[in-house]
Structure 1
Amino acid sequence: MLFQNFLKLPTNLWGIPTTQEARPTRDTSYQGLLGHRAWMALDPAIRERFAKRHDHRAFYGTMRRVALSPGGRVLALISRLFGSSLFPGTGRDIVTLIAVDGGAGDAAGHWERSYLLPAGHRFTVHSTKRLDAQDGLLECLGRGFVMKLDLRAEHDALHFVSTGYEWRCGPLCIALPDALSPGATHVVHRELGGGRFRFSLSITHPWFGLLAFQEGDFFEREA
């Protein structure tokens, strides 16, 4: 009897979520995550980029500024273990190509940013996002690590704001403490008009401050 009662003890003794509990499902689209009113308030050009599945789209532009702190350089090196999700260099006016496959209308979307470097070299970072029925928008970082994202809308901008990091393996799900995570990530897609948009990214750690910052302007390349 004592052994049977022991088996009924909660497994989450330390308050750390270890499994994915059943939760209500969510609309797996950007419009569903934002809500109709916020979605319709966005600039039509932003809605067009994120509203439907695109087999392949390519954008061309220049990263006007790419900065890393010493801690950011360490983070960029670590990210290479998970598939290179952060550019390890710094500089200004770096020509950059963005390729998108399987856009927002799909359960998954894959982004590649290629930074064109001197002597014909390039460095490509990868970003895979999933529209999850339970957790909303997730960015898959590799090796089972995911970043949970919240969407926020302004008329001329769509914001992607991290709300936490987790490690997942099958049904197992362990939330990372803020101090052990890469930091708060904030990505902004801002419409500039004339088919152009501004991309900005910042990563801020609670102990080490701003680790990474990027900002550049892009337009769609004709096929």
Structure 2
Amino acid sequence: MTSARLPGTSASTSAHTKLLDDRRFHVLLPDEDWGRLPLATWRRFSKRVADGDSVVYVGVVDEVSFSEIGWWFAQAVRMIGGPLPTGRDIGVPMIVTVTEDAATGGQTWTRICARKRGFPQVIHSAKRFAGPTGLEEYVGFGISMALRIAVEGETLTFRSAGYGLQLGRLWLPLPQWLTPGDLAVTHRDLGAGAFRFTLDVIHPRYGALIHQSALFRETVS
């Protein structure tokens, strides 16, 4: 399991240098909270590359579970690009690519999750430093999710703070019955270059819908 940087085809060698001065996530948190993060987590979320360059993390999915409603919901949202995991396979590779997007001032995240049979599932989304909370995740088809970040213990947590439909300059909140409920993503450093990513979707009425966990290990920082 590794992490690496993939340069864009037109960038110069000096432009490929990873800069640990990206404060876009930092400014969304009080300095005291940011300071509680492990150094390795701080480095990952302060790393900025040239426009079009990517940082790639490779890991293994070790936990997946769905309620019956959660599984059907994950299949249904394939109509808007499939932003949620759809398979139950564990022990399969997961690749996460973070690409700088100068046009929006944000990042494009691509998650590739292998399957034991058939082609991998590919999930695209864009993290934009905009919206009511200063951070949103855009999944396509005009649909985005506002996010609030926090430090819980030494874990960096991203929690949904409302879903909306973008129509030109208007952002229209989606009614609760059209949303999966509360979504939480965590990034927990495990030391020695390893970290754990988790995704949980919990509905206020139907409870836990989806859980996914993957273990990553860095060999290039």
* TM-score when normalising by structure 1: 0.79
Counterpart among 28, 41, 45 of residue 50 in structure 1: 45
Tell me by how many angstroms 1:48 deviates. 0.8
* Residue 10 of structure 1: aligned partner: none
**1:59-79 alpha-carbon deviations (Å, 9 max, x no partner):** 111111111222222222222
3-state SS of paired residue (1:51): coil
Are residues 1:36 and 2:31 paired?
A: yes
CA distance in structure 1 between the aligned counterparts of 2:89 and 2:195, rounded to whole angstroms: 20
CA distance in structure 2 between the aligned counterparts of 1:116 and 1:42, rounded to whole angstroms: 30
Tell me by how many angstroms 1:214 deviates. 0.3
Give the conservation status (yes or no) of the 8 Å contact 1:58–1:221. Answer: no
* Residue 128 of structure 1: aligned partner: 126
Are residues 1:109 and 2:104 paired?
A: no
Give the conservation status (yes or no) of the 8 Å contact 2:89–2:115. Answer: no
Counterpart among 195, 198, 207 of residue 197 in structure 1: 195
3-state SS of paired residue (1:32): helix
Tell me by how many angstroms 1:196 deviates. 0.9
Tell me by how many angstroms 1:40 deviates. 1.8
Q: Percent of counterpart pairs with the same letter?
A: 33
Tell me by how many angstroms 1:220 deviates. 3.0
Give the conservation status (yes or no) of the 8 Å contact 1:161–1:184. Answer: yes
CA distance in structure 1 between the aligned counterparts of 2:117 and 2:164, rounded to whole angstroms: 39
CA distance in structure 2 between the aligned counterparts of 1:165 and 1:42, rounded to whole angstroms: 28
3-state SS of paired residue (2:135): strand
Tell me by how many angstroms 1:134 deviates. 5.1
- Higher mean displacement: 86-95 or 194-203: 86-95
Counterpart among 211, 214, 218 of residue 213 in structure 1: 211
Give the conservation status (yes or no) of the 8 Å contact 2:193–2:219. Answer: no
CA distance in structure 2 between the aligned counterparts of 1:96 and 1:79, rounded to whole angstroms: 20
Tell me by how many angstroms 1:155 deviates. 4.9
CA distance in structure 2 between the aligned counterparts of 1:68 and 1:221, rounded to whole angstroms: 32
Tell me by how many angstroms 1:189 deviates. 0.2
Tell me by how many angstroms 1:120 deviates. 6.5
3-state SS of paired residue (1:118): coil
**1:3-24 alpha-carbon deviations (Å, 9 max, x no partner):** xxxxxxxxxxxxxxxxxxxxxx
* TM-score when normalising by structure 2: 0.80
Give the conservation status (yes or no) of the 8 Å contact 2:125–2:140. Answer: no
Tell me by how many angstroms 1:167 deviates. 1.1
Letter in 2 for 1:61: G
Letter in 1 for 2:192: G
Tell me by how many angstroms 1:199 deviates. 0.3
Mark the CA change 1:57 to 1:165 in structure 2 (over 3 Å): closer, same or farther.
same
Give the conservation status (yes or no) of the 8 Å contact 2:143–2:166. Answer: yes
User: What runs of 5+ residues in structure 2 fail to find an aligned partner?
Assistant: 1-22
Larger radius of gyration between Structure 1 and Structure 2: 1
- Higher mean displacement: 117-126 or 166-175: 117-126
Give the conservation status (yes or no) of the 8 Å contact 1:183–1:206. Answer: yes
User: What runs of 5+ residues in structure 1 fail to find an aligned partner?
Assistant: 1-27
Letter in 2 for 1:31: H
CA distance in structure 1 between the aligned counterparts of 2:207 and 2:76, rounded to whole angstroms: 18
CA distance in structure 1 between the aligned counterparts of 2:195 and 2:124, rounded to whole angstroms: 20
Letter in 2 for 1:39: W
Give the conservation status (yes or no) of the 8 Å contact 1:61–1:96. Answer: yes
CA-based RMSD = 2.3
**1:29-69 alpha-carbon deviations (Å, 9 max, x no partner):** 11110122211221111111111323211111111111122
**1:142-168 alpha-carbon deviations (Å, 9 max, x no partner):** 111111110001353100011111111
Give the conservation status (yes or no) of the 8 Å contact 1:179–1:205. Answer: no
Give the conservation status (yes or no) of the 8 Å contact 2:196–2:215. Answer: yes
* Residue 65 of structure 2: aligned partner: 67
